[in-house]
Chain A
Amino acid sequence: MSIRYGSLAGLATAALVLSAVATSGEELERKGIPAPPGHVFQTIISGYQFRTKETRALQDDDLENPGFLAVERAADVWKTVDGGEGKSCMSCHGEAEKTMKGVGAAMPKWSEKLNKPVNLEQQINICRTEHMKAEPWAFKSKELTDMTTFVRFQSRGLPVAVKTDGPMSPWFEKGKEIYYTRVGQLDLACASCHEKNNGKFMRADFLSQGQTNGFPTYRLRDQRLIPLHERFEGCMFDVRGVPYKPLSDEFLALELYVAWRGIGLPVETPSVRN
Chain B
Amino acid sequence: MADKPRIKLPKEAKKGEIIQIKTLVSHLMESGQRKDAQGKPIARKIINKFTCEFNGRPVFSCALEPAISANPYIQFDARIDEEGTFKFAWTDDDGSVVTAEEKIALKA
Contacts and interface: CB of A to CB of B under 8 A. Distances in A.
A223 B34 CA distance: 14
Interface in A85-119: none
A220 B73 CA distance: 13
Contacts of B69: 220, 223
Interface stretch (B3-11, B36-44, B48-56, B97-105): B3-11
B70 A63 contact: no
Interface string A219-232: 01001100000000
Interface stretch (A13-21, A67-75, A121-129, A191-199): A67-75
Interface residues of A, dominant DSSP: loop
A164 B22 CA distance: 43
Contact of A63 (B8, B28, B29): B8
A223 B70 contact: yes
Main secondary structure of the interface of B (DSSP, over half): loop
A73 B22 contact: no
A214 interface: no
B3 A72 contact: yes
Contact of B26 (A61, A64, A69, A220): A69
B70 A72 contact: no
A61 B75 CA distance: 13
Contacts of B78: none
Contact of A223 (B3, B6, B22, B71): B71
B24 A224 contact: no
Contacts of B4: 72
A224 B70 contact: yes
Contacts of B26: 69, 73
Nearest to A218: B71
B72 to A, nearest CB: 10
B47 to A, nearest CB: 14
A230 to B, nearest CB: 17
Contacts of B29: 223
Nearest to B25: A69
Interface string A50-71: 0000000000010110101100
B8 to A, nearest CB: 4
A64 B24 contact: yes
A223 B69 CA distance: 8
A147 to B, nearest CB: 15
Nearest to A73: B3
A69 B22 contact: no
A4 to B, nearest CB: 62
A68 B70 contact: no
A68 B3 contact: no
A63 B71 contact: no
Contacts of A72: 3-4, 6
Nearest to B9: A63
Contacts of B7: 63
B7 to A, nearest CB: 8
18 contacts: A63-B7, A63-B8, A63-B22, A64-B22, A64-B24, A64-B73, A66-B70, A69-B3, A69-B24, A72-B3, A72-B4, A72-B6, A73-B26, A220-B69, A223-B28, A223-B29, A223-B69, A223-B71
Given A63-B22, A63-B24, A69-B71, 13 more contacts: A63-B8, A64-B24, A68-B6, A68-B24, A69-B6, A69-B26, A72-B3, A72-B4, A73-B3, A73-B26, A223-B28, A223-B69, A224-B70
